[in-house]
Amino acid sequence: MNLRDLRYILAIAEHRHFGRAAEASGISQPTLSVQLRKLEELLGVALFERSSKAVVPTAACERLIGHVRAAVAEADAILSVALTLRDPLAGRFRLGIIPTLAPYLLPLVFAPLREALPALEVEPWEDQTSAIVDRLRAHELDAALLATDLDGPDLASRPLFAEPFLAALPPEHPLAARAVVEEGELARDILVLAEGHCLRDQTLAACGQSGALGGTLRAASLSTLLNMVAAGYGTTLIPGLAAGAAQDAGIVLRPLAAQAGRTVRIVWRARFPRRGAVDAVGDVIAARLRGFATGGATGAV
Amino acid sequence: MNLRDLRYILAIAEHRHFGRAAEASGISQPTLSVQLRKLEELLGVALFERSSKAVVPTAACERLIGHVRAAVAEADAILSVALTLRDPLAGRFRLGIIPTLAPYLLPLVFAPLREALPALEVEPWEDQTSAIVDRLRAHELDAALLATDLDGPDLASRPLFAEPFLAALPPEHPLAARAVVEEGELARDILVLAEGHCLRDQTLAACGQSGALGGTLRAASLSTLLNMVAAGYGTTLIPGLAAGAAQDAGIVLRPLAAQAGRTVRIVWRARFPRRGAVDAVGDVIAARLRGFATGGATGAV
DNA sequence: GAATGTGATAGATGACATCTATCAAGCCTG
DNA sequence: CAGGCTTGATAGATGTCATCTATCACATTC
């Protein structure tokens, strides 16, 4: 049985005339006669009583036509819903973001995203890199904003912008007197985030392993770390987008001699079909952040 | 779009594996891949994200699959309902019957019909010949039991049994002394039904036109006529099946010399598709009435 | 009785679903 | 890490079947 045949039934039932029903269906009258007869043979039931005077639905047809209408209506609904879904820049877009980026980046890009992609419902999901990647692979996220390189064979990514790190110092710290700070000089009293945050690893990689203070402090968020630094408990590196929040907390910021930093990338499954949405979101974020990293630090692990 | 394709979608969504879905659908894996891709192109929406590891429905697929399920379910409903409707000996069967036949025939054949054709819901419709034929032509009846010949090009019929007429006399009537009555002898004081009843015309045809009494009496039913005869108001012809009722009313019955009578036929539209039901009903009635007309009077107009 | 209108039939044709054979990519194991 | 296994994609051949045009058969109408 075929949806086409079902539409033929409806046409005949409506016009009660093979010629006009065929015309309305865009086929010839013989085709319609043959197809209807085949369908009747398939169903084992006569659907219309024909004569040269009139075409009248049988009782069996009356019983069936409700289901026929419903089937055709559902098929049409599929087409019409698909039409609205056709735009890859529409619908839910679940975007994972790491915690050291989300609170500072989202306020910047939310309005531009909404303006550029009004039909795209961007749903941010804040979590650590490994959890985000898991969810990405499990199709529970559509894309993610990460600061690590991890193109596996199943994932693809594209850099959006370079984010330099800055030295975050208590105002009374000796290094605060310098205009530029050497990364290694921070190692002595550096504070880092709890395990799992990529910024922790990147900070330690840039400054050299110390972890004397980092081992005792379990800072789950960057803002905790900032407050600790402001209180004179130690120093740290912060990503450039957090500069505003750090200064608000009363922290002294200094550029780094080796221009350590990280590159924020958008990551997606290589097979993800809505590549257009990924590119569009990436474009908007990259445009908003253009010119942010004058230093142009790139690609720390 | 095709129902087959929709079933493919459901198979893939269920198995999440092209090979197994193809096997379950009874086709090869390449066919399934090609068909799904074509459907995706038609809809303009990716339905599944494929990799050699997993096949995952897209968000668009999740939105659509409800309609897909509904469409397929309705199509299945068509097939299943058609299967129950397939038996022509099942369902409503609207049967017109003339008033001079219905009250005497129906009690005889109702039980045999029910036993022989338990799935056929015979709905008797009592009316005069012309009204019945109109309803038959208007598809408001499926068949009719008539006592007249009227095979037009659009109607067909088949004789079921011959029903002899009997002379109905008041007990004190002079003719009641005879064993056999000549049809013409009844003409003087014969009573007939109101216009429109075929029995009226048949009676007048058999006995010769008189109508002196018939003109003043407007008897709408045979039982009225019987009561008039019993009261000595006149004589009449009655169809054989009414003999029992006539005798109960205290009427004397006598056979007719020329064996006037009528043939009861089942009539249907020549194009009516449930010919099997017509034949089956006719068979049951003819079998029940077999041996009824020993005289074998046939075919008065 | 010719003209008109109706659905059914016959034979030709083209589109397309399907097949087998094969490839490309990724995963697992020894 | 190489080779085998699994998975979906691709290519080319093939047969089915929907569709067409031309025509018929039948009934109605003027």
A65/B295: higher pLDDT = A65
Residue B294 located in a structural domain: no
CA of B31 to C1' of C17 (A): 8
Question: Does residue A197 sit in the same domain as residue A227?
Answer: yes
Residue B295 located in a structural domain: no
- Count of CB atoms within 10 A of residue A177's CB? 9
Domain closes at, from B64, B85, B106: B85
Question: Does residue B244 sit in the same domain as residue B281?
Answer: no
The burial class, CB within 10 Å (0-12 / 13-18 / 19+), for A82 is: buried
pLDDT greater than 60 at residue A13: yes
**Cα gap A139→B33, rounded to integer Å:** 21
Question: Does residue B153 sit in the same domain as residue B95?
Answer: yes
Question: Does residue A29 sit in the same domain as residue A19?
Answer: yes
Which residue is the nearest neighbor of C19, CA to C1'? B28
Within 8 A by CB and 6+ apart from B93, the residues are B120, B121, B122, B123, B142, B143, B274, B277, B281
Orientation of helix B29-43 relative to helix A59-85, angle to 10°? 70
Question: Does residue A173 sit in the same domain as residue A234?
Answer: yes
**Cα gap A78→A265, rounded to integer Å:** 36
Contact call for residues B6 and B71 (beta carbons, < 8 A): yes
Question: Does residue B41 sit in the same domain as residue B73?
Answer: yes
Residue A297 located in a structural domain: no
Mean pLDDT, chain A, rounded, equals 88
Asked if the Cβ of residue B171 lies within 7 A of any atom of strand D, the reply is no
* Interface residue of B271, B274, B275, B278 to substitute, partner A, most A CBs within 10 Å: B271
**Cα gap A60→B85, rounded to integer Å:** 6
Asked if the Cβ of residue B153 lies within 7 A of any atom of strand D, the reply is yes
Domain closes at, from A59, A85, A111: A85
Residue A153: what pLDDT?
77
Contact call for residues B232 and B103 (beta carbons, < 8 A): no
Question: Does residue A283 sit in the same domain as residue A171?
Answer: no
The answer, for A275 touching chain B at a CB cutoff of 8 Å, is no
CA of B31 to C1' of C22 (A): 15
Q: Which nucleotides of C are covered by protein (CB under 7 A)?
A: 5-11, 17-22, 24-27
Tokens found for residue A157: 């990514």
**Cα gap A214→A192, rounded to integer Å:** 5
Question: Does residue B157 sit in the same domain as residue B271?
Answer: yes
CATH classification at residue A55: 1.10.10.10
CA proximity to A222, closest of A205, A245, A254: A245
Residue B150 located in a structural domain: yes
Residue B269: what pLDDT?
87
Interface contact flag, A44 B68, Cβ < 8 Å:
no
Q: Which of residues 188-227 of A touch B (CB under 8 A)?
A: none
* Interface residue of A7, A55, A271 to substitute, partner B, most B CBs within 10 Å: A271
**Which long-range contacts (C-beta less than 8 Å, at least 24 apart) are formed by B65-70?**
B65/B9, B65/B10, B65/B13, B67/A74, B67/A75, B67/A77, B67/A78, B67/A81, B68/A74, B68/A78, B68/B6, B68/B9, B68/B10, B69/B10, B70/A70, B70/A74
Residue A288: what pLDDT?
94
From first CA to last CA, the distance across chain A in angstroms is: 59
CA of B241 to C1' of C12 (A): 62
Residue B139 located in a structural domain: yes
Q: Which nucleotide is nearest to A25 (CA to C1')?
A: D19
CA proximity to B201, closest of B154, B132, B149, B273: B149
> Rounded to whole angstroms, what are the CA distances from A124 to A110, A175, A256, B20?
10, 37, 31, 36
Q: Which is it for strands B155-169 and B252-255: parallel, antiparallel or unpaired? A: antiparallel
Contact call for residues A183 and A260 (beta carbons, < 8 A): yes
CA proximity to B167, closest of B155, B154, B157, B176: B176
Tokens found for residue A124: 């941010």
CA proximity to B166, closest of B264, B227, B244: B244
Residue A128: what pLDDT?
94
Identify the band that residue A149 occupies on the pLDDT scale cut at 50, 70 and 90: confident
**Residue A34: strand pairing partners:** none
Residue B199 located in a structural domain: yes
Helix (H, G, I), strand (E, B) or coil at B52: coil
Residue B242: what pLDDT?
94
Q: What is the pLDDT of residues A225-252, one digit of tens each?
A: 999 999 988 899 999 999 999 999 999 9
CA proximity to B12, closest of B31, B30, B28, B36: B36
Domain closes at, from A85, A108, A128: A85
The burial class, CB within 10 Å (0-12 / 13-18 / 19+), for A65 is: middle
**Residue B165: strand pairing partners:** B239
Secondary structure of chain A as H, E, C letters: CCHHHHHHHHHHHHHCCHHHHHHHHCCCHHHHHHHHHHHHHHHCCCCEEECCCCEEECHHHHHHHHHHHHHHHHHHHHHHHHHHHCCCCCEEEEEEECCCCHHHHHHHHHHHHHHHCCCEEEEEEECCHHHHHHHHHCCCCCEEEECCCCCCCCEEEEEEEEEEEEEEECCCCHHHHCCCECHHHHHHHECCECCCCHHHHHHHHHHCCCCHHHHHCCECCHHHHHHHHHCCCCEEEEEHHHHHHHHHCCCEEECECCCCEEEEEEEEECCCCCHHHHHHHHHHHHHHHCCCCCCCCCCCC
The answer, for B2 touching chain A at a CB cutoff of 8 Å, is yes
Question: Does residue A156 sit in the same domain as residue A270?
Answer: yes
CA proximity to A125, closest of A138, A115, A116, A117: A138
Residue A209: what pLDDT?
67
The values of phi and psi at residue A240, to 5°, are: -55, -35
Which chain B residues are closer than 8 Å to A58 by Cβ?
A: 273-274
Interface contact flag, A86 B49, Cβ < 8 Å:
no
Question: Does residue A130 sit in the same domain as residue A106?
Answer: yes
Which chain A residues are closer than 8 Å to B67 by Cβ?
A: 74-75, 77-78, 81
Which chain A residues are closer than 8 Å to B8 by Cβ?
A: none
Asked if the Cβ of residue A216 lies within 7 A of any atom of strand D, the reply is no
- Find the radius of gyration of the CA atoms of chain B: 32
The answer, for B179 touching chain A at a CB cutoff of 8 Å, is no
Asked if the Cβ of residue A273 lies within 7 A of any atom of strand D, the reply is no
Chain centroid, CA B39 distance in Å: 47
Residue type for A24, please? Answer: A
Question: Does residue B154 sit in the same domain as residue B99?
Answer: yes
Which residue is the nearest neighbor of C18, CA to C1'? B31
Helix (H, G, I), strand (E, B) or coil at B100: coil
pLDDT greater than 70 at residue A81: yes
Question: Does residue A131 sit in the same domain as residue A195?
Answer: no
CA of A38 to C1' of C15 (A): 20
Domains held by chain B: number: 3
Which segments in chain B show pLDDT lower than 50?
A: 214, 294-301
Residue type for A54, please? Answer: A
Q: Given A49, A63, A74, which is nearest B74 (Cβ)?
A: A74
Mean pLDDT, to the nearest integer, of A113-142? 92
Which chain B residues are closer than 8 Å to A49 by Cβ?
A: 139, 269, 271-273
pLDDT greater than 50 at residue A15: yes
CA of A31 to C1' of C14 (A): 15
Contact call for residues B114 and B131 (beta carbons, < 8 A): no
Residue B301: what pLDDT?
27
State how far residue B99 is from chain A, nearest Cα, in angstroms: 26
What residues make up the domain containing B129?
91-162+263-289
CATH classification at residue A231: 3.40.190.10
Residue B300: what pLDDT?
31
Q: Given A44, A67, A79, which is nearest B74 (Cβ)?
A: A67
Residue B298 located in a structural domain: no
Interface contact flag, A1 B6, Cβ < 8 Å:
no
Residue A299: what pLDDT?
33
CA of B53 to C1' of C28 (A): 12
Identify the band that residue A285 occupies on the pLDDT scale cut at 50, 70 and 90: very high
Residue A298 located in a structural domain: no
Residue A210: what pLDDT?
57
Q: Which nucleotide is nearest to B26 (CA to C1')?
A: C18
Which chain B residues are closer than 8 Å to A51 by Cβ?
A: 154, 271
Residue A298: what pLDDT?
36
